[in-house]
Amino acid sequence: MTDHAVAVVRAGALTTVQDLGRFGHAHLGVGRSGALDEPAARLVNRLVGNPEGAAVLETTVNGCAVRPRRAVTVAVGGAPCPVTVDGRPAAWGAPVRVPAGALLELGPATYGVRSYLALAGGVAVEPVLGSRATDLLSGLGPGLLTDGVVLPLGTPVGAPGRVDGVVPWSGPSAELVLRIRFGPRADWFTAAALGTLVAGGHRVSAASNRIGMRLEGPALQRAQEGELPSEGMVLGAVQVPPDGCPVVFLADHPTTGGYPVVAVVDVRDLPGAAQAGPGTPVRFVPV
């Protein structure tokens, strides 16, 4: 293993390698995957001089700790969290130079769910179907990070980006507002159910993951019984399983499904969904 690498000291609750995802393979049953908070991943890459599509580390809730084998410039963004180098406080949302052998630690998110760590050169694991992203549903890409894993890094290609003032980040608000278009199977639900969906009575469930944001709250009543044949699923689809509680499909969603899709979320609102913790109220707004 080359010394241009980083060793994982503490993997955290769920840390994965992510880039902007793999495209063009849904007809083969392979979904997109990629960073859930894509704007955050793009930003930290720019801060260290990487192309926006370079692979980064996506942490969940409690961060991670890594030790580079060679000095490297890093940046942490997404959900704000304490950042330390060998125990000394370092900047969040700005380029930081980490010496060889030093311990870089991302602490628990102070708000939000997912933080992003970019390293100059990007995480250079072997691409699968054109992407280095970990897909939890299909198992493609590198596995979940575990303590002791060593990840190769690519060669830095650009100078670290300048930061003037506060790094922009669309952090979670008291209420998650998701713009939707009804359909394609809205006719499978009663008019009262469609009213319930937009009434604002749902909250994010702790059972949410990279596959989908599960919601708790009033069940949506169907107007039709039975099940659909499996049909294609898209990012942001609001699928309703038999218990009537909606699920908003995120980056690792299946490419087909048989439960009716009552609406589809505007993809521009999905980074907010990636950062909404359990209990966050959700309001769907038809557009």
Burial class of residue 159 in the structure, from the number of CB atoms within 10 Å of its CB (0-12 exposed, 13-18 middle, 19+ buried): exposed
The answer on 138 and 71 residing in a single domain is yes
Does 26 score more than 90 pLDDT? no
Is 157 a domain residue?
A: no
The answer on 17 and 124 residing in a single domain is yes
The answer on 139 and 18 residing in a single domain is yes
Domain range for 198: 176-286
77-96: per-residue pLDDT in tens?
Answer: 999 999 999 999 999 999 99
The answer on 196 and 134 residing in a single domain is no
Is 170 a domain residue?
A: no
Q: What is the DSSP string of 147-184?
A: TT-EEEB----SPPPP--SSPP-----SSEEEEEEE-S
Name the residue with higher pLDDT: 264 or 171. Answer: 264
pLDDT for 1 equals 45
Does 61 score more than 90 pLDDT? yes
Average pLDDT over residues 250-277: 95
**Tokens linked to 57:** 């580390």
Which string of b and e fits 235-257 if b means at least 16 CB within 10 Å?
A: bbbbbbeeeebbbbbbbbbbbeb
- Does residue 89 contact residue 71 with C-beta atoms inside 8 Å? no
Lowest mean pLDDT of 63-67, 134-138, 167-171, 229-233, name the range: 167-171
Of 226, 224, 233, the C-alpha closest to 263 is 233
Residue where the block lists tokens 């130079």? 97
The answer on 12 and 137 residing in a single domain is yes
The answer on 183 and 148 residing in a single domain is no
152-198: per-residue pLDDT in tens?
Answer: 999 998 888 766 544 556 556 789 999 999 999 999 999 999 999 99
Is 158 a domain residue?
A: no
pLDDT for 253 equals 94
CA-to-CA separations, 34 to 133, 196, 254, in angstroms, rounded: 5, 32, 14
- What DSSP character marks residue 23? -
Domain count, the chain: 2
The answer on 209 and 81 residing in a single domain is no
The answer on 71 and 10 residing in a single domain is yes
The answer on 226 and 145 residing in a single domain is no
Of 126, 127, 124, 145, the C-alpha closest to 136 is 145
Q: What global pTM score does this model have?
A: 0.94
User: What are the backbone angles phi and psi of residue 19, rounded to the nearest 5°?
Assistant: -125, -145
The answer on 184 and 137 residing in a single domain is no
